[in-house]
Amino acid sequence: MRTFRLFFLGLVGLLGSLLSTALAQSNLTYELRIGATRDVALLEEFPESFAGEKVNVTLANGGYTTFGTLETPDVLKPLDFFFADLPSPALTAWGDSIYSYTDAEGVTWTVWRTKKEVKNRGQKVFRQNAYTVFETYVQDATSAPARSTAWLGWLCAGLLLIAGIVYAVVLIIQRRREKNLSSVEQEILRRKRLGMRRHYGSQLYLWLLLLVLYAPIALIAVFSFTKSKILGNWTGFSFDLYLNLFTGKADAGLNSAIWYTVVIALIAAVASTILGTLAAIGIHNMRARSRKAVSLLNSVPMINPDIITGISLFLLFVALGVSQGLATVCIAHVVFCTPYVVLSVLPRLSRMNPNTYEAALDLGATPAQALRMVMLPELWPGMLSGFILALTLSVDDFGVTFFTKGSGGLETLSTFIYSDARKGGLTPELRPLFTIILIVMLAVLIYINIRNSKQEEK
Amino acid sequence: MNKLVQIFSSRRTWAWPYILFMAMFVILPLILVGVYAFTDIDGHFTIRNFAKFFTHSEAIQTFLYSLMIAVFNTAICLLIGYPAAYIMAQEDFKTPKVMAMLFILPMWINFLLRTVATVELFNMCGLPLGEGALLFGLCYDYLPFMIYPIYNTLQKMDNSLVEAAQDLGANRWTCFWKVIVPLSMPGVYSGIVMVFMPTVSTFAIAELLTHNNIKLFGSLIQDYITTTDLLNYGAVLSLVLLIIIGLTSFFGDHDSKDEEKGGLV
């Protein structure tokens, strides 16, 4: 009981701290939306390595403007040329001044020169110059009053307070009513209540957790039914994004990213299933010591975080002088998928009768025939689950792909989303795409669940 | 030809292509990280890169900060995830499988997209992006990794031990701390490893969640390694990360070996 009470207290504390953050931010206005920030900290430190690089400042509506090309190591002084290419009116003043112009769609763009403070353990460690582009909604800025967030805090506080009062009243009424009961009856009632409280408390906890986990996903799903370019901006119900997605009207980059993701996942999954199954058969027939060694080798890519796998492969390809592209991404994906295939095939092998393969050979089958007709039928469930695992791992991967895709314009969905998000806005068609994926996964899970429970009944 | 057939009819050799492949694309690249760390741009041996790391205050601070964030995130995931796993593993909990699936389902949505959606959620609620958003996002991404192993161990736990403790007079509190928690430690260890390792090496998420205001070690490595002239220094940073990962995996290996095998195979 004390655990739960403590835990409840902790939960209240957590809510309270959230609340106080919300309240502290209550004078925050909403009309400014950060588009993109060009990080120039590196630029200051190693200017020579940036020579020739194009500096893009990205606008929140997905487009971006190239402000100029860095040529000299001396980049700090001539930063004015960032703004030289901007459409008129030109920049009026320096310092923390603002440049702003209104584009054809009536959206005002504001460029701020800001000093950003990168925080480190609460101390200001270094300052960096950053150029931040804000998109200003003219309508919002002028007509709509600044949207305050205090209501959220007050809502939470009010709900908590009401819940507390109701709970206290119920408790008092119960105590009154039970005064005349015998102590045994009181004890029974107390235990019953305790059990109920525990039950509802734990249910509430899980569902709250799920609510938080699913809130961002729900946001994607809900906003897949509106045409707005910016997530969180409701412009009326429409199926346009779905139509765009299926008729290929979506961004060309997105279409090719989907295509590449599928191709890479299929190649990687097929290759790693073949390689992994053969390897599993080999490992299974090894002596204990070498089996241990190979298992250790097998676990290395699984332990390695993807950034390490990605960087190490990147260094390998650099050292070999291989130009990076589709082939290198596929190899990289096979590297981190195969261990999982091996692990899903191995238990199948140990359940198999070891003599059937030998028997097939004795009866005149070639090893290939024996593999195909004797081993495969036994192994395929393991291979299938390995294959599916490899598919999902490959589709979901970001870190490894990021470092091995090269600069030839190859993008998978993950890297596409990343570069999109860095530009400041998501391609809107991503929303319906992932809503569909979520629904399909949900359907598959429900199907598996129903099938399992039916099997249990039998 | 005959000899070749003979070699390959022994099934032990079927793992050779895989071993070769792994040696080429796993072991060799890892060695290369070390090689690049100890050479300069022209390929000469040097330890200047290391010297630079120890005097480069930004790198050191970012490194320490990332470690701290990872520790915090792991602790938060444990605090939130353990009760959830515990509740799901209770005998009278009716739908543990559905619940477990519900917790894993979000992982099928691309984590970058979820991160962007989290940012939008924060924007909509008017919450500031910063350390809080970073921790929320990290916890949100890695919580299932904590819940699942703990749930697995708790579920496999022999319930008669708990009953025995209760029969011998332990109250719920004692029973929980003296029986259930020690028995669930393997799951806790592997949960800690599974959350800590990706958090400490995370990149991309941090910059999205904080609008580039907070830089984690992973992003720092990314910055250097993708800049041609600074590749060797990036390799040094990767090596540092690799060492941390190695240490963590030893920590996990020590106690959770059987558990991990049971979970994965």
Contacts of B78 in chain A (CB under 8 A): none
- Coil/strand/helix, residue A54: strand
Is residue A264 located within the same domain as residue A300?
yes
- What is the 3-state secondary structure of A141-189? HHCCCCCCCHHHHHHHHHHHHHHHHHHHHHHHHHHHHHCCCCHHHHHHH
Mutate to test the interface with B, among A281, A311, A314, A451 (most CBs of B within 10 A): A311
CB burial of residue B166 (10 Å; 0-12, 13-18, 19+): middle
Both tokens of A231, joined, read 């997530």
- Long-range contacts at A270-274 (CB < 8 A, ≥ 24 apart): A270/A387, A271/A330, A271/A334, A272/A333, A272/A334, A272/A337, A272/A338, A272/A340, A272/A341, A272/A386, A272/A390, A273/A341, A273/A383, A273/A386, A273/A387, A273/A390
**Is A201 part of any domain?**
no
Amino acid at A65: T
Contacts of B118 in chain A (CB under 8 A): 216
Is residue A56 located within the same domain as residue A174?
no
* H helix or E strand, kind and range, residue A83: none
N- to C-terminal Cα separation, chain A: 39
Amino acid at A183: S
Put simply, the chain B residues between 126 and 185 with a CB less than 8 A from any chain A CB are 126-128, 131-132, 140, 143, 172-173, 176
Is residue A382 located within the same domain as residue A272?
yes
What is the least distance, in Å, from the CA of B121 to any CA of chain A? 6
N- to C-terminal Cα separation, chain B: 37
How far is it, in rounded angstroms, from Cα A120 to Cα A110? 28
Q: Is the Cβ pair B113, A430 closer than 8 Å?
A: yes
Is residue A22 located within the same domain as residue A36?
no
Residue B167's pLDDT is 87
Residue A33's pLDDT is 27
The candidate with the shortest Cα–Cα distance to A280, out of B260, B14, B17, is: B14
**Is A92 part of any domain?**
yes
Which residues share a beta bridge with A43? none
**Is A353 part of any domain?**
yes
Q: Is the Cβ pair A3, B140 closer than 8 Å?
A: no
**Is A100 part of any domain?**
yes
**Is A435 part of any domain?**
no
* H helix or E strand, kind and range, residue B68: helix B57-89
> Over its length of 458 residues, how does chain A's per-residue pLDDT go in tens digits?
445 555 555 666 666 655 555 444 332 222 222 223 333 334 444 444 444 443 433 333 333 333 333 333 333 333 333 344 443 333 332 233 344 444 444 444 444 443 333 333 333 333 333 344 433 322 222 223 334 456 667 787 888 899 889 988 988 888 788 777 778 888 888 888 888 888 888 888 999 999 888 888 888 888 888 877 666 667 778 888 888 888 877 778 888 898 999 999 999 999 999 999 989 988 888 888 888 888 888 888 888 888 999 999 999 998 888 888 899 999 999 999 999 999 999 888 888 887 888 888 888 888 788 888 888 888 888 899 899 889 988 988 998 999 998 877 788 988 888 887 776 567 788 888 888 888 888 888 788 778 877 777 76
Q: Is the Cβ pair A217, B109 closer than 8 Å?
A: yes
Is residue A8 located within the same domain as residue A81?
no
B197 touches chain A (CB under 8 A): yes
For residues B25 and A331, is the Cβ–Cβ distance under 8 A? yes
Is residue A308 located within the same domain as residue A164?
no
**Domain at B57-264, CATH homologous superfamily:** MetI-like (1.10.3720.10)
Contacts of A209 in chain B (CB under 8 A): 80, 84, 143
- Coil/strand/helix, residue A132: strand
Mutate to test the interface with A, among B10, B26, B148, B236 (most CBs of A within 10 A): B26
- The last residue of a domain, from among A112, A142, A172: A142
Residue A357's pLDDT is 82
Q: Which of A199, A312, A361 sits opposite B33 (nearest CB)?
A: A312
> Over its length of 265 residues, how does chain B's per-residue pLDDT go in tens digits?
566 666 666 677 788 889 999 999 999 999 999 898 888 877 788 888 888 888 887 788 889 989 999 999 999 999 999 999 998 888 777 777 778 888 888 887 888 888 888 887 887 776 777 788 889 999 988 998 999 899 989 888 888 888 888 888 888 888 888 888 888 898 999 899 889 988 998 888 887 887 666 778 888 888 888 776 778 888 888 999 998 888 888 776 554 444 343 333 2
How far is it, in rounded angstroms, from Cα B183 to Cα B166? 15
Is residue A359 located within the same domain as residue A377?
yes
How far is it, in rounded angstroms, from Cα B155 to Cα B25? 38
Name, in order, each residue with C-beta under 8 angstroms of B182's C-beta and a sequence gap of 6 or more. Answer: none
Domain extents in chain B:
2-36, 57-264
Claim: this prediction has a pTM higher than 0.90: no
Q: Is the Cβ pair B12, A418 closer than 8 Å?
A: no
Is residue A131 located within the same domain as residue A276?
no
Give DSSP secondary structure letters for B204-259. SHHHHHHTTSS--HHHHHHHHHTSGGGHHHHHHHHHHHHHHHHHHHHHHHHHHHHH
Q: Work out how many domains chain A is built from and give that number.
A: 3
How far is it, in rounded angstroms, from Cα A184 to Cα B145? 45
Q: Which of A205, A281, A294 sits opposite B87 (nearest CB)?
A: A205
Helix locations, A181-251, DSSP H: 183-222, 240-246
How far is it, in rounded angstroms, from Cα B96 to Cα B83? 14
**Is A108 part of any domain?**
yes
**Is A437 part of any domain?**
no
Q: Is the Cβ pair B87, A418 closer than 8 Å?
A: no
B11 touches chain A (CB under 8 A): yes
**Is A242 part of any domain?**
no
Count CB atoms within 10 A of the CB of residue A119.
16
Q: Which of A37, A220, A283 sits opposite B113 (nearest CB)?
A: A220
Which CATH number characterizes residue A295's domain? Answer: 1.10.3720.10
Name, in order, each residue with C-beta under 8 angstroms of A403's C-beta and a sequence gap of 6 or more. Answer: A307, A310, A311, A313, A314, B225, B226
Q: Which of B29, B68, B128 sits opposite A315 (nearest CB)?
A: B29
Is residue A95 located within the same domain as residue A14?
no
Domain that holds residue A68: 32-142
Is residue A391 located within the same domain as residue A266?
yes
Is residue A47 located within the same domain as residue A72?
yes
B118 touches chain A (CB under 8 A): yes
Whether omega for the bond prior to residue A89 falls within 30 degrees of 0, making it cis, is yes
Q: What is the ipTM of this complex?
A: 0.86
B43 touches chain A (CB under 8 A): no
Is residue A280 located within the same domain as residue A159?
no
